[in-house]
């Protein structure tokens, strides 16, 4: 069965078009990654699919239930962990999860049992009886995910689950999401990070300015995007010489980046060695040199011809949570 | 989509009541767990009671007949109403905080009654006011306040003040959801409150005010409710001073309470839907 079917969804806020005819579909049992910069429409789409926002036009079903015609039915089938961890600071982890369980109409005992289950699942059992204001950012996110799992959702929506948390917690969350999927949960997650989508998602949709501009498995997309690049940083005075050296290796003009130059690493690490050798031959000492994966910027450059641009205004218009979000983006 | 439209599933009334109780409990738990919240929501009204009685009490002559001429007996019913009205701002603050923290999004993604977020908030504030009142009545008694018409009438007065506070919570809910941030809710909330509380019979008799102000001061809801509560606490022989009989005052109070809820509950619900998209 299709986990999500969205057809031609349009949503505008004033003169900002947040979603401009978005369609997507994926099956149950997978992780679907929605990849795009700030303001691309990711959060708005999640809000439509989780019944928080009515689109101007278009239709959507989640786990076979029409989110517009039967929102209450849809809510029985979904879990949502939004961009800011929506947990109560002054309740304990367990109380937070139990309360959500009771709002799913579980009895007191059943809510308790279910809370134990999900808390164990996210490995928060030890901290379960502490107030959330003693939790780290990563723990809050995990608790938020736990709360969204209480109702045994058919489809779990995670809106930028790792934005604004430290790298260690990010890895923990990745593990958690992978475990959930092994347990049979279907997940739709949004992210600004290509590596995150690559790591977690079975299928990836790239969204830009309210359009899905590319869709497929991670391998599909990589094949279309090309592989790794070699990037160097050099002194301003050496840029011209370095560019000519790179052109020799790549057989094409290098791309000028903000801080340096890059060429496709067509032969992998071998390209890196060749670059070092060429630079040495022309007496340019790079300040930094690296073989790196393509970034979201590279993806967008490839797919759209423009760099990923953040349009924070339209994203906050989409979520109506601008204070919380701007706090997120400042990084806590 | 393509399938035949299924009947809309609604949340049953029983579930809605359960959800309201859960949200109420959650909001009250929050107050209990934040010591500064309990402290300031109780200390502030008690401080008002002390300040007005001790600092202004000597200067203010209410002109009420003997037996009720102690300023505390004029002040106490008024301060109860003031506390209820000030306390209603907690509704605006609580809702805007939940809105900002994404908690309301979480609630709205659950198969729960949407009304429970608002009713659970206003009822939680009613519960908190009840607690604050208990403390104030105790402090009032220590300061020489006396109720002269028996416990049942005193309690009726307290109940009317609490209900008025509850009605006012819906006004504050509407304002909070319209302005959306706690900071704005704080200042916007007090805009209607200050004229209503100070141009009223809470602290001084309306007769002491300029003529042009008396019409408003006499008939606006805060005065009506303050006088009603007062009429249920001062000696019966002093009632004539209020210039209106107790029964009419009680009716007028209930009319205001019902009217405020009837207007502002739907407005708050509308703002709620707008605020959350």
**What is the predicted pLDDT for the residue at A82?**
85
Residue found by looking up tokens 């005052």 in the block: B249
3-state secondary structure of A332: coil
Residues paired with residue A59 on neighbouring β-strands, in sequence order: A7
Which pLDDT band holds residue A307 (cuts at 50, 70, 90)? low
Cβ atoms of A225 and A298 within 8 Å: the answer is yes
Distance in Å, alpha carbon of A81 to nearest chain B alpha carbon: 7
pLDDT given for residue B170 in this prediction = 97
Output the six-digit token pair for A10.
């349009």
User: Averaged over B164-176, what is the pLDDT?
Assistant: 96
Which pLDDT does position A312 carry in this prediction? 44
What digits encode the pLDDT tens for the residues B219-276? Answer: 999 999 999 999 999 888 887 777 788 999 999 999 999 999 999 999 999 998 877 7
pLDDT of residue B242: 78
Quick one: DSSP state of residue A8?
A: E
Which residues on B lie below 8 Å from A66 (Cβ)?
1, 3, 5-6
Find the residue in A nearest to B110 (Cα): A75
Give the pLDDT confidence of B29-48 residue by residue, as tens digits. Answer: 888 888 887 787 788 889 99
Q: What is the pLDDT of residue A305?
A: 65
Structure tokens at B93: 């603050």
Among B175, B143, B142, B202, which Cα is nearest to B267's? B175
Dist CA A2 CA A133 (whole Å): 39
Integer CA distances (angstroms), B230 to A110, A207, A246, B30, B135, in order: 49, 64, 89, 33, 18
Percent of chain A past pLDDT 70, that is, above it, reads 87
pLDDT at B67 over 60: no
According to DSSP, the residues that pair with A215 across neighbouring strands are: A205
Asked if A36 and A207 count as a contact pair (C-beta separation under 8 A), the reply is yes
Domain boundaries, chain A: 2-223+309-330, 228-292
Q: How far apart are CA A133 and CA A88, in angstroms?
A: 8
**What is the separation of C-alpha A60 from the centre of its chain, rounded to a whole number of angstroms?**
21
Contact A299, A221 (CB under 8 A): yes
8 A C-beta contact, residue A143 and residue A172: no
Task: Say if CB A314 and CB A39 are below 8 A apart.
Answer: yes
Inter-chain Cβ pairs, chain A and chain B, closer than 8 A: 102
Position A164 confidence tier, pLDDT thresholds 50, 70, 90? confident
Interface list for B 90-109 with A (CB within 8 A): 99-103, 105-109
Report helix, strand or coil for B87.
Answer: helix
Per-residue model confidence (pLDDT) at position A111: 94
On chain B, the residues whose CB falls within 8 A of the CB of A80 are 105-106, 109
B106-165 pLDDT, tens digit per residue, is 999 999 988 899 999 999 999 999 999 999 999 999 998 999 899 999 999 999 999 999
> How far apart, in whole angstroms, are the C-alpha atoms of residue A296 and residue A310?
12
Q: How many angstroms separate the CA atoms of A77 and A79, rounded? A: 7
Name which of A255, A250, A253, A240 is nearest A275 in CA terms: A250
B1, B11, B106: residue with CB nearest A59 = B1
ipTM over 0.95? The verdict is no
CA distance A108 to B22: 11
Chain center to CA of A75: 22
- Report CB contact under 8 Å: B26, A85: no
**Residue ranges of B 125-184 with Cβ closer than 8 A to chain A:** 181
Average pLDDT over residues A125-151: 90
E strand or H helix that includes residue A272 = helix A269-281
Q: Which residues of B touch A78 (CB under 8 A)?
A: 109
Closest CA to B49 of B75, B73, B70: B75
**pLDDT score of A327 more than 50:** no
String of b and e for A225-246 (b: at least 16 CB within 10 Å)?
beebbbbbbbeeebbeebbebb
B22 contacts in chain A (CB < 8 Å): 99, 102-103
Q: Which residues of B touch A69 (CB under 8 A)?
A: 5-6, 8
- Which ranges constitute the DSSP H helices of chain B? 13-33, 35-51, 71-87, 89-101, 103-108, 115-142, 151-179, 182-198, 211-219, 221-231, 246-275
Put simply, whether B11 touches A (Cβ < 8 Å) is yes
Is the pLDDT higher at A156 or at A228? A156
Question: Per-residue pLDDT for A92 more than 90?
Answer: yes
CA distance A52 to B277: 7
The position carrying tokens 């020489």 is: B144
Please classify residue A184 by burial: count the beta carbons closer than 10 Å to its beta carbon, then call 0-12 exposed, 13-18 middle and 19+ buried.
Answer: exposed
Lowest mean pLDDT among A104-108, A304-308, B248-252: A304-308
pLDDT at B68 over 60: no
At residue A64, the 3 state secondary structure works out as: coil
How far apart are alpha carbons A188 and A250 in whole angstroms? Answer: 38
Please give the C-alpha separations between residue B156 and each of B65, B141, B210, B215, B230, in angstroms, as whole numbers.
23, 17, 32, 27, 11
Which of A66, A91, A324 is nearest residue B29 as measured by Cβ atoms? A91
What is the value of pTM for the model shown?
0.80
Percent of chain B with pLDDT over 70: 94
pLDDT for A314:
39
- Give the strand pairing for A16-27 and A2-13: antiparallel
Q: Please state, in angstroms and rounded to a whole number, the distance separating the CA atoms of residues A195 and A186.
A: 20
| Displacement of CA B45 from its chain's centroid (Å) | 13
Question: What are the contacts of A251-256 at 24+ separation with CB within 8 A?
Answer: A255/A229
- CATH number attached to the domain at A228-292: 3.30.70
Q: How much is the mean pLDDT over chain B?
A: 88
State the Cα–Cα distance between residues B100 and A3, nearest whole angstrom. Answer: 30
Give the domain A2-223+309-330 fold: Rossmann fold (3.40.50)
More confident: A220 or A56: A56
Q: How confident is the model at residue A41, as a pLDDT?
A: 92
The per-residue pLDDT for A323 is: 37
When pLDDT is averaged across residues A46-70 and rounded to a whole number, the result is 94
């Amino acid at each position: 069965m299709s986990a999500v079917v969205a057809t031609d969804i349009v949503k505008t806020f004033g003169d900002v078009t947040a979603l401009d005819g978005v369609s997507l579909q994926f099956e149950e049992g997978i992780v679907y990654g929605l990849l795009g910069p700030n303001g691309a429409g990711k959060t708005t789409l999640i809000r439509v699919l989780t019944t928080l926002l009515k689109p101007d036009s278009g239709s959507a079903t989640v786990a076979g239930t029409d989110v517009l015609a039967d929102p209450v039915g849809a809510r029985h089938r979904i879990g949502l962990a939004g961009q800011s961890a929506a947990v109560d600071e002054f309740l304990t982890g367990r109380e937070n999860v139990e309360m959500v369980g009771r709002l799913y109409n579980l009895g007191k005992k059943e809510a308790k049992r279910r809370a134990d289950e999900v808390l164990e699942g996210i490995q928060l059992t030890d901290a379960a009886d502490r107030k959330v204001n003693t939790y780290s950012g990563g723990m809050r996110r995990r608790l938020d995910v736990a709360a969204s799992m209480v109702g045994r959702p058919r489809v779990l929506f995670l809106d930028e689950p790792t934005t604004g948390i430290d790298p260690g917690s990010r890895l923990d969350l990745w593990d958690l999401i992978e475990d959930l999927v092994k347990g049979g949960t279907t997940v739709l997650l949004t992210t600004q990070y290509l590596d995150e989508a690559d790591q977690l998602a079975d299928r990836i949709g790239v969204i830009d300015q309210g359009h899905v501009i590319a869709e497929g498995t991670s391998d599909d997309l990589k094949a279309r995007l090309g592989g790794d690049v070699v990037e160097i940083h050099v002194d301003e005075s050496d840029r011209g010489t370095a560019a000519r050296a790179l052109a020799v290796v790549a057989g094409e003009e290098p791309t000028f980046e903000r801080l340096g130059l890059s060429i496709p690493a067509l032969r992998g690490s071998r390209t890196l060695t060749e670059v070092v050798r060429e630079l040495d031959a022309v007496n340019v000492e790079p300040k930094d040199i690296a073989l790196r994966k393509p970034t979201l910027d590279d993806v967008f450059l490839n797919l759209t011809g423009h760099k990923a641009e953040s349009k924070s205004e339209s994203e906050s218009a989409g979520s109506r949570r601008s204070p919380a979000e701007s706090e997120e983006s400042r990084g806590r | 989509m393509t399938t035949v439209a299924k009947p809309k599933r609604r949340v049953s009334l029983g579930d809605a009541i359960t959800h309201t109780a859960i949200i109420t409990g959650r909001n009250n738990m929050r107050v209990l767990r934040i010591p500064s919240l309990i402290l300031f929501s109780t200390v502030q009204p008690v401080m008002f009671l002390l300040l007005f009685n001790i600092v202004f009490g000597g200067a203010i002559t209410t002109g009420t007949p003997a037996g009720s001429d102690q300023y505390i007996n004029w002040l106490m019913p008024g301060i109860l109403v003031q506390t209820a009205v000030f306390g209603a701002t907690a509704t605006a603050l609580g809702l805007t905080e939940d809105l900002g923290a994404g908690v309301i999004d979480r609630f709205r993604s659950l198969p729960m009654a949407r009304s429970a977020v608002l009713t659970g908030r206003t009822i939680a504030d009613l519960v908190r006011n009840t607690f604050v009142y208990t403390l104030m009545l105790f402090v009032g008694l220590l300061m020489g306040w006396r109720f002269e018409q028996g416990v049942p009438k005193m309690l009726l007065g307290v109940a009317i003040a609490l209900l008025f506070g509850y009605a006012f919570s819906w006004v504050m809910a509407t304002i909070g959801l319209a302005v959306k941030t706690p900071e704005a809710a704080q200042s916007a909330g007090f805009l209607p409150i200050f004229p209503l509380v100070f141009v009223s019979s809470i602290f001084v008799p309306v007769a002491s005010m300029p003529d042009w102000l008396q019409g408003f001061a006499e008939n606006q809801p805060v005065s009506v409710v303050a006088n009603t509560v007062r009429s249920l606490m001062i000696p019966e022989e002093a009632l004539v001073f209020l210039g209106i009989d107790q029964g009419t005052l009680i009716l007028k109070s209930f009319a205001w309470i019902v009217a405020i809820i009837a207007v502002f509950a739907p407005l708050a619900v509308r703002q709620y839907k707008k605020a959350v998209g």
